[in-house]
Amino acid sequence: MTRVTPPPGPAAAEPVQVEAAEGAADAIVGRPHADGPLPAVLVYTDAYGIRPSVAAYAQRLASHGYLVLVPNIFYRHGPAPVAPDIERLIASEDRSALFEKLGPLMAALTPEAVVADARCWLGYLAERPDVRDGPVGTVGYCLGGRLALRTAGAFPDAVAAAASFHGGNLATTEDDSPHLVAVDARAELYVGHADNDRSMPPEQMARLTQALAEAHVRHTAELYVGAGHGWTQPDTPVYDEPSAERHWMRMLELFGRTL
C-alpha cells in the first residue's frame, strides 16, 4: 500500500554522538514534533560533509514525518565541518585546496569501512525508542550515493529503500564497484543521474541499470537533463532549484511507498 506523504510539519535538528566502527562519530538527528515511533532515514552527505545546509536538509526531511540520521562519514579525521570556513570554500571558484584536503578523507572510506560504519548507523537507529521497528530508508549525494547503494546491498534485511542523487562512480570496472553490492539489495532503488557528469558517464549508467535489471532489483533511473553534478546542494555553485525540488518529490514518493 502506498503511504501518503504527510504535509510538512514542525521539525528540529540536533547534534548527537553515535558509536561508530572506529570511535565516536558526531551526527545530526532530525525529528518532527510528532508522536513516534517513526520511520527512519539514514542520510549520507556529499564529500563536503556536515555543514549548515545539511542541518537544514535534515530538518526539512524530518518535517515529512521521518527520524533522520546524518552521520559524519569523515569522523575518523575529526568532527564536522571538514574545514572551519567550509561554506566559503564551497562557494569559491578555486576549490583545489579544499579537494586536496578532502582526498585523504574520501580515500579512507574503503568498502570495508563503509560497511562497518553502516552497521553502526543502522544499529543506532534500531536502538532508538522513537524509531519504528522494521527496515529503514537511505539516501546519499555524490560520494554519499555510493554509500547508500552499498548499504542497501550489504544489509538487505535492514533497508527498504535507497536513493542516490548525482552519485559518482556507481558502476566502474573495478572489483569493489558499488553496483556489484547493490545487486544484493531487496530495497527499491532510485538513482537520479546528473547530466554530463564526468564521474558517472553514460557507460556507467548503462552498466548499473543492466546489473540491477539482471539481478531483478526493483529500481528507477532518471537523468536530470541540464543539471550538473551536485545540483541538489543549495550552498554550491551548481545548485539547480527546479531540479532540486524534483529530487525532493522523487525521494518523498520513494520513501512514502516503501517505509
Among 64, 179, 229, 247, the one annotated catalytic: 229
Tell me, yes or no, if 142 is annotated catalytic.
yes
Q: What 3-state class would DSSP assign to 162?
A: strand
Nearest CA to 122 among 157, 75, 146, 149? 157
DSSP state of 187: S
Q: Which amino acid is at 257?
A: R
CB atoms within 10 A of CB 37: 13
Q: Catalytic annotation on 229?
A: yes
Helix (H, G, I), strand (E, B) or coil at 152: helix
* Catalytic residue of the set 26, 46, 142, 240: 142
**End-to-end Cα distance, the chain:** 10
CA-based nearest residue to 250, from 139, 170, 96? 139
Residue type, 166: H
- Chain-centroid distance, C-alpha 63: 17
Q: For residue 48, what is its C-alpha cell?
A: 563536503
Take residue 108 and report the three cell numbers written for it: 579512507
Query: 244: part of which helix (H) or strand (E)?
Result: helix 241-258
Question: Which of 26, 46, 197, 240 is labelled catalytic?
Answer: 197
- Is 94 one of the catalytic residues? no
Nearest partner of 226 among 253, 246, 209, judged by Cα: 246
Give the bridge partners for 69, in sequence order. 29, 42
Active-site positions? 142, 197, 229
